[in-house]
Structure 1
């Protein structure tokens, strides 16, 4: 969002036909899904919005109230580029990375809660594109919601699990994430142990590393090289999120317009957003509201879980801690 906001600001400064084409191109990169229209009113209550004056005198006030976003990483398994990045041979797509991003009132702090994909949940009935509904399913893996009903079912399942209204939805696809990291010039991470995972094609010694896009994607996907647990993989994903926040905040993209455009192009090409966040203008408005949010003010946690009684390879929410966590985000 910050990259898109920077690019949008440059477009406004440029003006003229060239700027108009840049805006049109970046804006039309973003794919859209109508979550609100599909789910209707049978959802958790939405917190009241509050607005604060913009730091830019000529700009409209920005919403600075509590906001919750569901951010998914979709692991597409098809296409030449995805297979080259370790996508495999099976069809379809999965949501192997799921994070609820909670923005505090005032937007000076945030909490990112990872939901393990192996969590056994009750998947509610979800509307389908054909006009029907999927059946309610009990004790199924969390990431099956996306496979069965796409973004709409993923949002409904998260809201059913948490009791928290998802105000917005953002999805970054498999190859797009690698392109964003490459456009930024790579990202720096530290691993306390060596990682050797043939499945994600990642081989790192213990210590500090500068990762390109393909390596960063493997870093986010690996689990067999760090014990085989999805919970261990989540720790690496959260480390990567913080590293990317630091990268964007310190990179000085405004001084390199060509790299800024490449990054914004990669970011918007990789995005699917709900209809309230599917344009440069809307993404920029949200980014402006986060102007005072630093990487140090972002807390990363995982939904408390315990091994599932029915299957030691799966997990279930650890109660009452999980419910208490979600209540704190409403």
Structure 2
């Protein structure tokens, strides 16, 4: 009898127990799930059965600490947090069904969560690609558009502005202005997240680009009533979406392999400034981050840059499988 029960509830690795077979039939027939979904459920429950067989423990006797141990095992084996979450979802549904069938008193997966996925590194351009984009001249689009788009790039990369901060800039300072550029002082005053104002230095290249733009922005004074620094052909304030499209097009025209968006230039500004100065607090202030932890992600980008430089240039990085005496 004991042998028969072990065969039924604790199958050989890779096999499905009768309980699992019944559950899959339930989701296939009663829930009418797609064949592909049922197949994925079967794979996840096969994994559950294999874990249980290694203990060994019957599926209806699995406890919360078993599930947590198996989650740790999957995470340690390199499975992503998202992948583990999907597996747990399948297991949770199985034990919910077992509870309705009166076979388990509680769901051992109920309060188990997958490990949080690490935040992906922000995408930043290399220094060479950034300079290539900033130096590009799109002469075929006319002097008005070229002057405007060049100034956009210089302010985004040279000042690390968010696209919303850029669109909020006015030509002149005023009590109603969200932001403005003080050309004489070489500063941009912007309104950032949370209504926080900050001052960002405007470098020589950005100042020159702004002067060229202002010289052609409204020569006929047709848009004197429009306070916006960056405007479209009809004189209205340039939208964030328009800047995204213009920047993507300009990066492609400049020959960059990756389409560039405004926040990528902000990431590039922060990464390159940190590489040059190593001053994390200064970068935090220039970006307008409330917490230093937000800025610290760029130290990971900086290390990634150094690691690539090492792999490419250091002679010891090229030694494979040899003792380094």
The TM-score with structure 1 as length reference comes to 0.22
Higher relative contact order (CA 8 A, sep 6+): 1
Looking at secondary structure, tell me which structure has more strand per residue. Answer: 1
Looking at secondary structure, tell me which structure has more helix per residue. Answer: 2
The TM-score with structure 2 as length reference comes to 0.23
